[in-house]
Chain A
Amino acid sequence: MRTQGPPKYLLRFFKWFCKPEIHSFIEGDLLELYEEREQNFGRKKAVRLFALDVLKLFRLSIIRPVRISNNRNYLAMLRYNMLISLRNFKKDRTTFLINVIGLSTGLACAFLIFMWVQDELRMDRFHEHDDRLYQVMQTLDLTEGVRVVDWTPSLLAKTLKEDLPEISHSVATKAGQNRYDGILRYEDQYVKATPQYAGQEYFQIFSFPLLYGDEREVLKDKYATIISEKLALKLFSSSENAIGKTIEWNNKKGVDYGGVFTITGVFKDLPPNTSEHFDLIFPYDFFFSTQSNIGDWNNDPMATYVLVEEGVDINSLNDKITNVVASKRDYTNGFFLKKYSSKYLYANYDYAEGNSSGGRIIYVRLFSIIALMILLIACFNFMNLSTARSSTRMKEIGVKKTMGATRKNLILQFVSESLLISFIALLFAILWLTVFLPKFNQITGKELQFSLHLNLILSFLAIALITGLLSSSYPAIYLSAFKPVSVLKDKIKSSHGELWLRRGLVVFQFTTSIVLIISVIVIYQQMNYIQSKNLGFDRDNIMLLKNDGNLPEHLETFLSEAKQLPGVLYTSNSNTQLIGNENWTSGISWDGKPEDQDFVVNVITTKYDFIETFGIQLKSGRSFSRDFGTENQKLIINEAAATGMGINDPVGKIINFWGQDVEIIGLMENFQYQSLYNPVDPMVIRLFDGEINSGDCIWIKIQSGQEREAIEHIAGLYDKINPGFPFEYSFVDESFQSLYESEQRVAVLSRYFAVLAILISCLGLFGLALFLVEKRAKEISVRKVLGAKAIQIVGLLSRSYAKTIFISFSIALPISLWLASNWLGSFEYSIKLKWWYFGAALLTVVLLTWMSVGWQTLRAALADPIEDLRDE
């Protein structure tokens, strides 16, 4: 039987490192051993042993020596090269400075973004079972499109674990962002805290370490609670002391989900790389008991997280989950599992198909590209300057070559020179980094830290190395190719190709800069538009107070007394925020509701005067009024809800809401209460009258111009009811802005990066112009002597730059048009692109170019021709 023989690459590898004179004997031994082993143990094991043998042959006495024997003065040469480099830097300080400033800025940008991207990518990925951790998502097939949501029926978690063997653990938590801070009381200490409501297996699914308490037991009891280490230290001065203590949570008459709880565990403060935020957790069972129709499968109040068994096919599991829910409720929605850790970066779904449409990942990509561009711009400066200035090095190269230097030697020299610069730049970049990191953190809302981590240092070194190699690649090849004879005879002329390349690099720099400027303008215009857009309600001068402390008991008094204060127009109360509200229900039905289609509305429960406080326009019907006795069975809906239900004239119609027949008394005009990415969603407003239930939010509309006075009065009133409580308030327009937090950050960041890109480009241009003017000094002088006017010379020198800018602009225009319309297209309401955005960008670039080039040309044009002509 003929054997196949060991893998070729291993033989080749061995041949590569083995001393040639002993290679064939050892190879013979290896082959003999291999054949014997193959017969005894089979090929697989034989190959493995063979590879091991080859690896073990890698020893000093067997590997071939590195061949440096033909230049023993290798080190001397390197040292000498270094010296020449340093002399060159000294001789030409401007170029050196431009290179170092440009490269270090570019590197610093790259480092900042590198750290940021790494942080973003690591978000939520630290959980032990990350690869099996999923969230259940629901696809709603609505009349206006498809909507993917993360709310699910409250019993889903439990049912899934019982019915499907593929699911090993499951937990339900309260869905959405509608979790309001509450007040925690221990003896006479009051602390504000953010709650979470979660089922028993929470800590088995999520890897938030517990300092005290057993992860299986802590949430078992209905009145148990787990608090954070920070909270424990604040209230009990040690986390150990906290165990077994009894605390009161929102324990006031008329407040939802309040009670007395016993602390059963303390968890370690949440790490910065989690998207969850809460200070304490209450059991799911408790939450369940506070809500009346929470167990209804038609309601979706909870988020559901599951751990699947290993090796489970997610697609078929999705179908099973869909079927489980379909068997419990009257209509069918699609359910699917989404990787929990992908939620942070890929949160968005489009309306048309319900497909994933990105999310924060877009910004991660965007900024990676921007960082790369800035670094490239800096590299190109280096390339441009060193090739342009090649004439100053020609003699050196010529002499070296005639003395016997090979092309390799010269390439090495130039590469080491640029590596030297890039490592000097690296040091400065790290300096910039430490200086600007706090500011960067503030803009991005991160807690990045520069530490001497091995990985980080290695990445930085690698980036600097690549930058150095990249920027030296062209100059090294170009400069080392000079023929010594022509160089020494001064016969080198710039070739066409070289000029074109240099111009091409400048065009790239300017194209990038122009695209960045246009993007910044577009982003700012859009953000401005959003801030000032008429949303259909009045968001100015509305104060938001939290309904806590003694307020819930005295709410009616507070509302009516506050309304009497000078400067106060209206007061009201509701259970949730208006802006960004996501309090969905599908518990609505009417005569003629299609069987197969789902309909969900946002619901807000308010007291009187809510519509007046927010200045919401009514299309028909009326607002809630005290004149009509109790109005708890009445609803006000918006146009989107009316259209969605297919009712043309809804006022006066009776529909079924949460199992009761209610009358629609008013129709609101559509107003934009969510982010402008979305169309207006259906909304209903219902009233709660009486003292039992009151919502978290107290709204006070203040007359404009009297804000300060009014706030003082309100503070006084607040202090009477809640003595000792801090008077904390916010304004509605602020919470509106927080909807666009990430856009704001992008706007600020892109502005900084655009400025940097332009500055580095102009810096390069400045260096180039300085040099070219110097080089053409004689020509200019001769022209002047022959009668050229200064203005003509300026024109002559500026012409090529004008051309470059024009070309760059015509490339940048379509790119930025495409980018801008794409980005704006993701908003439901957006600005129209105007020509002046592009004009302004062009003007900026022209002005900046002229500032960096013009001064040089002007100086050259005004110089006394004798100065340049007499030295020959």
Chain B
Amino acid sequence: MKEHNLGEFEEIVLLAVGVLKGEGYGVSIKKEIETRGERSVSVGALQSSLIRLEKKGYIKTAEGEKTQERAGRPKKYYQITAYGQSALEYKKSVRTRFWEAMPNIQLKIQ
């Protein structure tokens, strides 16, 4: 069943959006990925990934208030949809199936 089409980086972004419980916007998602995901991410990569996720229906957006600190630029908040949630769960279940089937491997050194 190829219901969900979610790339590796997209999965991380989606997870970060989920973790932030609807409070996530560009910068906070970026920081979440950088701290929890232990990888750096450029604004461009993040934004294009968010746009793609929104197009696929995994996340929805809400326009936030205008604040002083951003020179009056509004924030865009992202929230994970139920469909997005199911995509994450599907991904996880696929992995779990593989892990359960994995024999105990002993790494032999030489």
What is the CA–CA distance of A33 and B30 in the complex, to the nearest angstrom? 10
A53 pairs with B43, CB closer than 8 A? yes
Q: Which residues of A contact B52 (CB under 8 A)?
A: 61
What is the CA–CA distance of A35 and B69 in the complex, to the nearest angstrom? 9
What is the CA–CA distance of A328 and B70 in the complex, to the nearest angstrom? 74
Mask of B2-45 contacts with A, CB within 8 angstroms, 1/0? 00000000000000000000000111001000000000001111
A212 to chain B, nearest CB (A): 49
Cross-interface CB contact of B25 among A27, A29, A53, cutoff 8 Å: A29
Q: Which residues of A contact B42 (CB under 8 A)?
A: 52-53, 56-57
Which positions in B face A, CB cutoff 8 Å?
A: 25-27, 30, 42-45, 47-48, 51-52, 69-71, 73-76
User: Which size bracket describes the interface of A in this complex?
Assistant: 20 to 34
Cross-interface CB contact of A59 among B25, B44, B71, cutoff 8 Å: B44
Q: Which residues of A contact B44 (CB under 8 A)?
A: 53, 55-59, 62
Closest chain B residue, CB of each to CB of A56: B44
Q: Which residues of B contact A35 (CB under 8 A)?
A: 69
B27 pairs with A32, CB closer than 8 A? yes
What is the CA–CA distance of A61 and B74 in the complex, to the nearest angstrom? 20
Cross-interface CB contact of B47 among A5, A33, A55, A57, cutoff 8 Å: A57
Closest chain B residue, CB of each to CB of A24: B73
Q: Which residues of B contact A55 (CB under 8 A)?
A: 44
Closest chain A residue, CB of each to CB of B25: A29
A30 pairs with B71, CB closer than 8 A? no
Closest chain A residue, CB of each to CB of B41: A56
Answer yes or no: A25 CB below 8 A from chain B CBs.
yes
A18 to chain B, nearest CB (A): 10
What is the CA–CA distance of A218 and B67 in the complex, to the nearest angstrom? 76
Answer yes or no: A347 CB below 8 A from chain B CBs.
no
B18 to chain A, nearest CB (A): 19
A388 to chain B, nearest CB (A): 54
Task: Give the top 7 A-B pairs by smallest Cβ distance, nearest first.
Answer: A28-B73, A29-B26, A56-B44, A57-B44, A25-B76, A56-B42, A28-B70
B74 pairs with A29, CB closer than 8 A? no
4 further contact pairs, Cβ within 8 A, besides A25-B26, A52-B42: A22-B47, A29-B27, A56-B44, A57-B42
Q: Which residues of B contact A26 (CB under 8 A)?
A: 26, 43, 47
Closest chain B residue, CB of each to CB of A58: B44
A56 pairs with B27, CB closer than 8 A? no
Q: Which residues of B contact A62 (CB under 8 A)?
A: 44, 47-48, 51
What is the CA–CA distance of A5 and B48 in the complex, to the nearest angstrom? 25
Answer yes or no: A756 CB below 8 A from chain B CBs.
no
Contact (A25, B73) CB under 8 Å given A33-B27, A56-B45: yes
Q: Which residues of A contact B70 (CB under 8 A)?
A: 28, 31-32
Mask of A33-58 contacts with B, CB within 8 angstroms, 1/0? 10100000000000000001101111
B75 pairs with A28, CB closer than 8 A? yes
What is the CA–CA distance of A29 and B76 in the complex, to the nearest angstrom? 9
What is the CA–CA distance of A55 and B74 in the complex, to the nearest angstrom? 22
Mind listing 16 A-B residue pairs with CB under 8 Å? Answer: A22-B47, A22-B51, A22-B76, A25-B73, A25-B74, A25-B76, A29-B25, A29-B26, A30-B43, A31-B71, A31-B73, A52-B42, A53-B44, A59-B48, A61-B48, A62-B44
B76 pairs with A33, CB closer than 8 A? no
What is the CA–CA distance of A178 and B73 in the complex, to the nearest angstrom? 79
A57 pairs with B75, CB closer than 8 A? no
